[in-house]
Amino acid sequence: LVSCSRRNESAPILLLAPKSNFGLYTAEILKTEGFNSFATDSITNPGITLSYLKGYDIVIIAEMVITPGQQEILTQYVEEGGNLIAFRPDKKLSNLFGIKPQVGEISDGYIAIGGNSEIGHGITTETMQVHGSTDQYGLQGARPIATLLKNDTTATEFPAIVINDYGSGHAL
């Protein structure tokens, strides 16, 4: 994302993940990739406020359904300079991510990282299979990092990974 001013010295990253739907698996991914300094919490915790989120440089949310109140807090966090990463974000966050929901899903499709983007540079541009369903979105201000494919060779017009500047922050 961008340079961060570490606000929470003990854990600059906050993972909001439910115990269901492989939410805590995201923590295992972070550890495997060498990110050992992060905190985990549940978005249903009443202590999850804008002030609390501002203590973290990056907030990661696993796949989950959010309430309108949670949507408002996450949107304000990004708008005021926070960095939010979401895995299959709730459609209520579409505007924050600069995407527009389209009809349909792709099951067990593929993604391909665009090697020309600064973020995609250095990551393999070979197709990678997604095990599960992916939602289809159109771009509405976001910049694509990866594209969805129906199979290992047939690209779609739908982005798989995007980055969006929103207010003073970023949503990925």
Q: What is the pLDDT of residue 4?
A: 40
* Alpha carbon distances (Å) from 89 to 42, 74, 142, 151: 15, 11, 14, 23
Give per-residue pLDDT as tens, 38-85.
999 998 899 999 999 999 999 999 988 999 999 999 999 999 999 999
- Using CA atoms, how far apart are residues 143 and 81, in angstroms rounded to an integer? 18
Q: What is the pLDDT of residue 9?
A: 56
* Residue type at position 91: K
Segments of the chain scoring below 50 in pLDDT: 1-6
Q: What is the pLDDT of residue 1?
A: 36
pTM tops 0.85: yes
Task: Tell me the H-state helices in the chain.
Answer: 25-32, 50-53, 68-79, 94-97
